[in-house]
Amino acid sequence: MPRITPLNYLDFAVRWFGRRAEELGNVERRALARASKGQALTEDPNRKLDEQTSLGGRLADRVAEIGGSWTFVSCFGAFLLAWAALNTEILGKTAFDPYPYVFLNLVLSMLAAIQAPIIMMSQNRQSSKDRQMASYDYEVNLKAEIEIMALHEKIDALRAEQLMTVIAQQQSQIEMLSRLLERSEARQDGGARGLVP
């Protein structure tokens, strides 16, 4: 079995990426380094992002999660109906916020003024997280592509080595057959001379 030498991944950077190793970006160099060492990309990006999240960021995510749920919409709709029923029908003339519900409008405006920036912070964090996940996915895909290209290189080297072995064996067989043919012809020539007086 022919011996396969390990690939120097940086030497193949020009062929694989069309650039020298020094011209590659950090992601490409990191993927090449991990591929050459046989390291997997095992870090969980979600865990890493969660560790970097501040208390305010986690709170913004939680507020956006609650504010964007059907449970919140249902409960808030029920609250608005209860407010209207209480101040219109139940309390009647003694209502603390009679129709057109000015106090309710004030409360809703303040809630929206507070909730909107918090939800926007959460969306900004989510878009940042999406960019980091896309970068991680790119790195994983790039490493897989590098591994596939390296396998192609190894298979090509193995096939070339096997082809050289087959050619050498065939050359040896041709030489052996040539010698046998020469001996056979020499015997036939010698045998034919022995028959002629």
70, part of any domain: yes
Contact 154, 90 (CB under 8 A): no
Nearest 5°: the CA angle 47, 48, 50 is: 65
3, part of any domain: no
pTM of the shown model: 0.61
Sign of CA pseudo-dihedral 114, 117, 123, 126:
negative
Closest CA to 76 of 84, 92, 100: 84
pLDDT by residue for the chain (197 residues), tens digit each? 444 445 677 677 777 777 777 788 888 888 877 777 777 766 777 787 778 888 888 888 898 899 889 999 999 999 999 999 999 989 888 999 999 999 999 999 999 999 999 999 999 989 988 998 898 898 888 888 888 888 888 899 899 999 999 999 999 999 999 999 999 988 887 765 655 55
Tokens 């209502």 label which residue?
95
Parent domain of 110: 9-195
81, part of any domain: yes
1, part of any domain: no
Contact 124, 53 (CB under 8 A): no
In angstroms, how far is CA 131 from the centroid of its own chain? Answer: 12
Domain count, the chain: 1
4, part of any domain: no
Beta-carbon-side half-sphere exposure of residue 54 (alpha carbons within 13 Å): 6
| Residues 62-118: tens digit of each pLDDT | 988 998 899 999 999 999 999 999 999 898 889 999 999 999 999 999 999 999 999
Contact 87, 95 (CB under 8 A): yes
Contact 24, 13 (CB under 8 A): yes
Before 117, cis peptide (omega within 30)? no
